[in-house]
Amino acid sequence: MRCLRPWLVSVPVATLALLVAQEDLPTLKVDVDVVNVLFSVRDKKGALTAGLKKEDFRVFEDGKEQVIKYFARETDLPLTLGLLVDVSGSQENLIEEEKHAALAFFGQVLRPKDMAFLVSFGSEVELLQDFSNSAGLLKEGLAKLRLSVPVRGLHPGPVPTASKPKGTLLFDAVYLAATEKFRDEVGRKAMVLITDGVDQGSRYDREDAIRAAHRADAIIYSIYYVDPHAYGYMFAPSDSDLKKMSEETGGRLFKVGKKQPLSEIFRQIQEEMRSQYALGYTPTNPNKNGGFRELEIKTKAKGYKVQARKGYYATANERR
């Protein structure tokens, strides 16, 4: 089910916080009679490997091996893609390049059954384009990307924020995209972040964002993009939060540089999303208590690296 919820329609995050403050972290209700996992495999040289079979893998839940019941190479499952773009002050000089590269990415990756949405985040989080497969609408959304910086003065917003200035709401953007846009979707779900990794003023923290992504079964691909003019050539913000969010959810961290421009990174993400495996198993632990269960997929042969989410929340059956 695809629906537009009101939280992202040009609502300042100070107001947005009031809309969600009454709720605890939401729980995605998934029927865990069968756990389905999408994953990628790379060889020793880092190349994607496409020819492996069910018999080549072992899957473990909380350290206990499970019986793989379903296995497939998933290249045609519908894709739900969310592009989250940092438009805070430190990204001002990068926004135009992000527009052009993202438009080309949408054109290359989206197929007839796929859908995408576009979110910007800075001092507030905004939905610039809701679910669409239209290149024209996505282009219009990208055209709306513009700088979002805190309002200065005695009264910066409807909720006082002097003690915690809202500059780059990275974690809020991830959390809200996961809970409000991805949670009710099925199939493959990927969130692509373009940011320098700085968070300032989010109501939610990194762990909240990761939990929300897990519950929505959404992979996070992080693109670390830093403008040296914003920080000085001798300093750059840490990419550790981006790396953690990506690795926990089965994605990857990319870094924009001279040898790897933004367009090349988008090409790699596209290739990876079209080269995934899927497996399913029935957990030996039938208890659906909402707890987090650790997942690990291994190849029987050495020399391969599996890229998959680190776990899932075992909750009651009913996907809303």
What does the pLDDT look like over 286-307, one tens digit per residue?
888 889 999 999 999 999 999 9
And the tokens for 226? 């830093």
Query: For residue range 32-89, what is the model confidence (pLDDT) as tens digits?
Result: 489 999 999 999 999 999 889 999 999 999 999 999 999 998 767 789 999 999 999 9
Which residues, in sequence order, are CB contacts of 15 under 8 Å at separation 6+? Answer: 157, 158, 159
Q: Which residue has the higher pLDDT, 214 or 167?
A: 214
Contact by Cβ (8 Å): 65, 59: yes
Pairing of strands 57-61, 64-66: antiparallel
CA of 211: how far to CAs of 25, 85, 290, in Å?
Answer: 8, 21, 12
Q: Which residues contact 72 (CB under 8 A, 6 or more apart)?
A: 277, 278, 279
Q: Mapping DSSP to helix (H, G, I), strand (E, B) and coil, where does residue 13 land?
A: helix
Of 181, 240, 248, nearest to 208 by C-alpha is: 248
Q: Does domain 76-273 have CATH number 3.40.50.410?
A: yes
Q: Yes or no: say if 181 and 82 are a contact pair by the CB < 8 Å rule.
A: yes
Q: How is residue 268 written in tokens?
A: 């790699």
Give CATH 3.40.50.410 domain extents, the chain. Answer: 76-273
The residues, any chain, with a CB within 8 Å of residue 159's CB and separated by 6 or more, are 14, 15, 17, 18
Which of the residue ranges 3-17, 195-209, 275-289 would you say has the lowest mean pLDDT? 3-17
The residue type found at 87 is V
